[in-house]
Amino acid sequence: MSSFETYIEKAAIDIDTAINLDDGNPYGFYLKLRILQGFGISEKLQRAFAESIAKYSGYYAFYAVVLDTLQPKWGGTPAAMYAFVDQYAGRAPENSPLQLLYLDLYRDLLSSASVSCTDYQRDRDKMSQCVASLMGANITPELERKVQAALQLYDHSDRYQFDVAIKDILFGMLNTAGGDVYSGAVLQLAANAMHSDTKLKEDAPGHNDYVIDEAVGHSWYLKGFYDNALTKFQEALKDIDIAAFPDEEEKDLARSAIYDRISFAYSKLHQYVDVIVYEKAAIALGGETGDEQFICYGYHELKQYDEAVQACTEAVNKSGNLRARYWRGVSYQDLGQMDAALRDFAVVADSEYDFRSSAAISMSFIYAIRNEVEKSLGVLNKYTYLFDPNTQSRDDLAASYNNRCYDYMQLGDLKRALDDCTESLKYGSLPDAYSKQQELIKRLKAHETGL
């Protein structure tokens, strides 16, 4: 946290310098608000917001940042969120972009409900019920009416800019845990307002707004229907061709985003040649996607390990992509280059990336098969998160306890070994853990009886 605050303060100094040199671009003010958001709804943020809207009163993004910061997770309240939107959108003209703040408010209330219900995140039904209860308490009929009215801006504003704004809102809602009912309802309202069809097989293909196709495809993807997702993503590509963009670069970026989503879907379908092709296409059009690891992952799954290492290295050198570093480690391991694999796994294991558990377990495994048992045990005991049931999957917990059971067993610490094998079996049914548990029980009994 200390480092975070230090870098945020440095960022704030830099953006103030940029604004003082040239305040002719509202984006500088927007960046300042995003930077100060790191401290919540502070006096600095409020002063910066007042300065921003004094110079660019109609710049919608300023208001969206402050509204987002008024969520309870930042220290705000639903009442404060409503008051803010009423103050600025309520006084704005009917066709002002600020009317979209009502959609932002709906999304932020859904996000707040989801955050409040995280205790139920492993039980989908309870999570949905919890979110529904909070939404029922916080969503007013007037807000629902305002949301529908705000969507009519599609016919009264620059459609490209509307698409950019509505895409951020729709995808934010679709990605909100426990919010399926609400995100689906708003997606349908948006489709109606944008003269688009959400059906998998459209009545009149070629007339949709591409953002609606992309959002519907993402909805299918989240539900695990990857073929359906691909159908809608391909339709989105066709609809981009008839959409208006400020220039070809913006059109290419829109295509790039959809190629990236197609690569995701093909990875779920285990069609790895297509994964590689579409991710390369996304990069060719957009420069960076943040998902460059899909290329080396695809090569790995095709067992083309040298190509995987090369592609992963390109991604790591380009952006420090931790996912790519993990898959390079896996590829090195499959090539038998264990020292190189250990170096990559160590970087990932020391990070906050969600593959860190797999990386640490792989490190312990490599040391174990090289008969460096003490190093294997050292890895497992170093990364204490491996044994945290609040953050780890049951499979990873079972593997971690099983590996440590083996290490203790090899080092002659039979009691600790038995405890870990028993713990492993609470989380999974690894045959290896059963076998070791039975052997340990016999050996401990023999030791106790002196036989």
Q: Count the alpha carbons within 13 Å of 90 in the hemisphere toward its beta carbon.
A: 10
Cβ–Cβ under 8 Å, residues 250 and 160: yes
DSSP 371: T
Q: What is the pLDDT of residues 211-224, one digit of tens each?
A: 999 999 999 999 99
Does the residue 424 lie in any domain?
A: yes
Can you give the residue range of the structural domain that contains 407? 376-451
The predicted pLDDT at position 206 comes to: 73
Look at residues 415, 408, 355, 410 and name the one whose alpha carbon lies nearest to residue 386.
355
The predicted pLDDT at position 450 comes to: 62
Does the residue 413 lie in any domain?
A: yes
Does the residue 434 lie in any domain?
A: yes
Does the residue 449 lie in any domain?
A: yes
Q: What is the pLDDT of residues 124-136, one digit of tens each?
A: 899 999 999 999 9
The token pair that represents 79 in the structure block: 């009442």
The predicted pLDDT at position 409 comes to: 93
Which alpha helices (H) appear in 175-246, and where do they start and end? 180-193, 210-222, 226-242
Q: Coil, strand, or helix at residue 301?
A: helix
Q: What is the CATH number of the domain that holds 396?
A: 1.25.40
pLDDT in tens, the chain (451 residues): 888 889 999 999 999 999 999 999 999 999 999 999 988 889 999 999 999 999 999 899 999 999 999 999 888 999 999 999 999 999 999 899 999 999 999 999 999 999 999 989 888 899 999 999 999 999 999 999 999 999 999 999 999 999 999 999 999 999 999 999 999 999 999 999 999 999 988 777 778 999 999 999 999 999 999 999 999 999 999 999 999 999 999 999 999 999 999 999 999 999 999 999 999 999 999 777 888 999 999 999 999 999 999 999 999 998 889 999 999 999 999 999 999 999 999 999 999 888 999 999 999 999 999 999 999 999 999 999 999 998 898 999 999 999 999 999 999 999 999 999 999 999 998 888 899 999 999 988 887 776 5
The token pair that represents 102 in the structure block: 């009502």
The predicted pLDDT at position 39 comes to: 86
Does the residue 445 lie in any domain?
A: yes
Does the residue 450 lie in any domain?
A: yes
* Total tally of structural domains belonging to the chain: 1
Does the residue 405 lie in any domain?
A: yes
Does the residue 91 lie in any domain?
A: no
